[in-house]
A and B are shown apart, each in its own frame.
Chain A
Amino acid sequence: MEKATHPHIEGAATHIGRNIGMNPKSHIDRFIISIGLRSSSLKRSRWAYHILRLFLGAIFLYASHDKILHPQEFAEAVYNYQILPDAMVNLVALVLPWIELLLGLCLLIGIWMPGATVISTGLLGIFIGAMIFNQVRGIDIHCGCFSTEGSGDPIGMMWTALRDMGFLLLSVYLTARVISQRPAGR
């Protein structure tokens, strides 16, 4: 399983093993060297992956709870964006928080990572797009991001957009990690 997932590490381990007089055909020797390689930068990068995954998961989980508890208030927040047709407002307001909840759980547990990271990146992209769109249109909204309460002051909105852009960067990084063949320890 390890061999199939990290062919370049196996390759490098074999190469180094030959140079320092180890037997490249010995599974034990190759295993020792590959552990040594991974323990350096890869280990750090894998830690980063897991920490970011847990962090983003917790963010989504936290973001979903108030919206699930107060569907009417969240529907009003969605309506205030004035982007969706009226008939879609309630449906989106009902389903969106549950997507966030499932995403959060997937990220926290570390299952269904390809799907979870792609949705997370897509959602954050849509949120930021909607916020910027309304900022440009000059529509006074409150984002309803973490809570159904909120005020519509523009400085708060800019801060929210910047914060979400930070989350988006994390999400893009995680998606790239999961989709690419880089060893991600998933």
Chain B
Amino acid sequence: MVVFKQENDSMISVNKPEIKRALRQVPSLIVLAALMAIGVNQFRPDGIPLIGEWSAEARFSDAAGDSLVISLARAQQLFKRDTTLFLDARPHNQFVEGHIQGALSLPWHDVDAHIVDLFDRLAHAETIITYCDGESCHLSHELALFLKDMTPADVHVLVNGWAVWRQAGLPTQTGE
């Protein structure tokens, strides 16, 4: 009976050599992966810097590396001009729930369907300011890059636009 109990215990007990192996293998695998990752990254043409630049200016830049970011103060000045067009890059239902006053809806996910209706307005704008919601939201950036190729207008991104505009108590509206 005692023997049986011992056997039974040994069936469910932890195997110490296996734990020791795990403790050795976990760091080894991570170090090996790191060496391979960094090694391959050095030699590939589309490698990325080991320490990236993730400030808004760097993230929201065009192909030439120039920042598209516009400050809230500057956006507010341009807001008063008729030649400035605000474009909301969020999904249309979020636009309906609330948006910057006078802004037009151009959801990035559905840009092809909506852009035809806006050709006229886009052609007459001198400045276009795109925005979406959230510090990391990339919709407005994608939209800005897309428009920069299409229109002669000055295209900018108001980072985290919907949130900062609202927090500053600037004019908003709801509906279509």
Residues of A within 8 A of B (CB): 7-8, 11, 68, 71-72, 75-76, 79-80, 82, 86-87, 89-91, 93-95, 97-99, 101-103, 106, 112, 114-119, 139-141, 151, 178-182
Contacts and interface: CB of A to CB of B under 8 A. Distances in A.
Interface string B127-138: 000000111111
A8 B25 contact: no
Contact of A182 (B12, B25, B26): B12
Contacts of B8: 8
Interface in B34-63: 34, 36-38, 40-41, 46-55, 59
12 contacts: A72-B48, A76-B138, A87-B51, A89-B52, A94-B48, A99-B29, A102-B32, A112-B28, A114-B21, A116-B25, A119-B30, A182-B11
User: SS class of chain B's interface: helix, strand, loop or mixed?
Assistant: helix
A6 to B, nearest CB: 10
Nearest to B109: A151
Interface residues of B, number: 45
A70 to B, nearest CB: 8
Contacts of B118: none
Nearest to A94: B37
A112 B48 contact: no
B3, B12, B15, B28 — which one has the most chain A CB atoms within 10 A of its CB? B15
A180 B25 contact: no
A80 B22 contact: no
